């Protein structure tokens, strides 16, 4: 199961007016997309990410393993024309392994990206946040612009705990429905 707290810290940055969501790109290695989301969207996005990452781990490994075994067998047995593998054969196998790994990551990220697009349809884009700035806290000037919460609303820690509990429930349902 995906670690819910890691998903929250890795993909969401609190800012004035909500959270910046760092969404994955469907082609895996291209630029990340950033959106300004509210608390409700944050909960939906976190549950989608938790579900997608828990499914993807095993599939990436199996697809890559099958691709490497198949490609190595075919290259050495058919394409090389000799019984002993050469350095070129090894380089081709390594290149194909990287190709299969990238292909598996792209194929497995598309369903999650499509589910994220539904939630992010109305979210405004946010300017990109650098890797170094992502871990920094919100400046006091930006935090002072956030309107104070009424006394009857839960604190941010309580909201985060509720969100983590919702993610755990979703992961448990996914685990039970997969028959494992």
Give a yes or no: residue 149 inside a domain: no
Give a yes or no: residue 180 inside a domain: no
Give a yes or no: residue 117 inside a domain: yes
Question: What pLDDT shows up at residue 143?
Answer: 45
pLDDT for residue 44 is more than 80: yes
Q: State mean pLDDT over 73-88.
A: 74
pLDDT for residue 123 is more than 80: yes
Question: What pLDDT shows up at residue 139?
Answer: 55
Question: What pLDDT shows up at residue 135?
Answer: 63
Q: What is the pLDDT of residues 48-70, one digit of tens each?
A: 877 766 666 677 777 777 877 78
pLDDT for residue 174 is more than 50: yes
pLDDT for residue 34 is more than 70: yes
Q: What is the pLDDT of residues 81-102, one digit of tens each?
A: 777 777 887 787 778 778 877 8
CA 177 remoteness from chain centre: 21
Question: What pLDDT shows up at residue 148?
Answer: 46
Give a yes or no: residue 156 inside a domain: no
Dist CA 106 CA 162 (whole Å):
31
Give a yes or no: residue 123 inside a domain: yes
Q: Which domain holds residue 78?
A: 4-133+161-171
Give a yes or no: residue 80 inside a domain: yes
Question: What pLDDT shows up at residue 76?
Answer: 65
Give a yes or no: residue 127 inside a domain: yes
Q: What is the pLDDT of residues 124-161, one digit of tens each?
A: 888 777 766 666 665 544 444 444 444 456 677 777 77
Residues 6 or more apart whose Cβ sits within 8 Å of residue 167: 4, 7, 46, 47, 50
Q: State mean pLDDT over 32-55.
A: 80
Q: Whose CA is closest to 61, among 94, 110, 105?
A: 105
Question: What pLDDT shows up at residue 62?
Answer: 79
Give a yes or no: residue 140 inside a domain: no
Q: Whose CA is closest to 90, among 107, 106, 104, 76?
A: 76
Number of domains in the chain: 1
Dist CA 98 CA 64 (whole Å):
9
| pTM of the predicted protein model | 0.55
Dist CA 28 CA 102 (whole Å):
8
């Amino acid at each position: 199961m995906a670690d819910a707290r890691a998903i929250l810290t890795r993909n969401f940055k609190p800012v004035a007016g909500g959270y910046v969501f760092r969404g994955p790109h469907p082609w895996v290695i291209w630029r990340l997309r950033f959106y300004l989301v509210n608390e409700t969207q944050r909960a939906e996005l976190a549950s989608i990410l938790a579900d997608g990452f828990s499914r993807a781990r095993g599939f990436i490994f199996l697809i890559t393993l099958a691709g490497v075994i198949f490609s190595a067998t075919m290259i050495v047995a058919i394409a090389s024309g000799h019984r002993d593998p050469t350095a070129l054969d090894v380089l081709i196998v390594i290149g194909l392994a990287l190709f299969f790994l990238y292909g598996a990551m792209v194929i497995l990220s598309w369903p999650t990206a499509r589910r994220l697009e539904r939630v992010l349809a109305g979210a405004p884009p946010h300017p990109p946040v650098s890797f170094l700035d992502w871990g920094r806290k919100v400046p006091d000037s930006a935090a002072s612009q956030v309107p104070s919460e009424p006394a009857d609303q839960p604190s941010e820690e309580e909201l985060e705990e509720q969100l983590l509990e919702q993610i755990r429930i979703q992961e448990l349902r996914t685990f039970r429905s997969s028959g494992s």
